Amino acid sequence: MNISSAVFVQSNSDYKLCPPADRPEYVFIGRSNVGKSSLINLLTSKPGLAKTSQIPGKTRLINHFLINQEWYIVDLPGYGWAKVSKTEREKWDATLRQYLKKRENIMCVFVLLDSRLEPQAVDLEFMQWLSENSVPFAMVFTKIDKHSNTKNESNLAHYEAVMLEQWEELPLYFITSAVLKEGKEALLNYIEELNSLFIVTPPSLSAKKNPGNLS
Ligand code: GTP
Ligand code: MG
């Protein structure tokens, strides 16, 4: 898929204030600093579109970007950010989960995972929650330029083994690096495939759009 336009639409902190759910939406989420904004910039070929920083937790809102005037990318704050108060964290967590459950046009939540790290409880729990709430998702391993191919392969095999303790089969996954521009084509192809499955549902009939149960 060729990205001809990518524009920032709006930021807000409530799913009810998001733009109309009339086109497919793809959510990028993961722990702080995992590389969400960098990956969005890679996919759209717009280095400054989503702000990147070395200060974890910089993106603190639901941020919508309109791509090719046809679909949305959403950049979300990193979860598991220790430097905010417990109350603030819980408030954001509730907002986030409500958005993920209620937003009808989400076609896929891309859960970003740092390829260098051991499987983190917070990520495993979050994917479990997505599955329990029928929110479609895929795993995206980031920063693979930081290690050799051999190390990446053994880390991935380990991740797979840990996942298979909980899951019957491994969810779909992608391997990426914003530095090497790796994974861009595979992700865009997947998005294109899901875009073709999107059906606009009148608000009165709205039901969660899950690629698994579209007919
Ligand atoms: P928050 O919004 O703060 O949660 O962070 P984020 O997940 O959006 O991460 P961001 O894209 O801002 O990247 C965090 C840091 O990791 C930045 O210094 C990036 O330059 C770096 N980074 C992101 N992706 C990659 C990658 O693929 N390879 C390498 N080597 N560094 C990366
Ligand atoms: Mg960010």
Query: Does 32 sit in the ligand 1 pocket, CB within 6 Å?
Result: yes
Identify which has the larger pLDDT, 81 or 140.
140
> Which pLDDT score is estimated for 54?
54
pLDDT higher than 60, residue 210: no
pLDDT for 212:
47
Please determine, for residue 181, whether its predicted confidence score (pLDDT) is greater than 80.
yes
What is the per-residue pLDDT across 47-79, written as a single tens digit (0 to 9) for each?
A: 888 776 555 555 578 999 999 999 999 998 877
Class of residue 86 by CB neighbours under 10 A (exposed 0-12, middle 13-18, buried 19+): exposed
What integer pLDDT is reported at residue 148 of this predicted model?
A: 93
DSSP-derived secondary structure for 103-161: -TTEEEEEEEEETTSPPPHHHHHHHHHHHHTT--EEEEEE-GGGS-HHHHHHHHHHHHH
| Pocket lining: 58 vs ligand 1, CB cutoff 6 Å | yes
Ligand 1 neighbour 19 (Cβ under 6 A): no
Which helix (H) or strand (E) segment is 191 a member of?
Answer: helix 184-195
Place of tokens 């070395």: 54
The average confidence (pLDDT) of the chain is 88
Percent of the chain at pLDDT > 70 equals 87
Select from 124, 133, 130 the least CA-distant residue to 164: 124
Residue 183 has pLDDT above 80, yes or no: yes
Say what the pTM is. Answer: 0.91
More confident residue, 212 or 156: 156
Query: What ligand 1 atom has the least distance to the C-alpha of 53?
Result: 12
User: CB under 8 Å to 188, separation ≥6 — which residues?
Assistant: 1, 3, 43
Please write the tens of the pLDDT for every residue from 121-163. Answer: 999 999 999 999 999 999 999 999 999 999 999 999 999 999 9
Measure the CA–CA gap between 96 and 9, rounded to whole angstroms.
Answer: 19
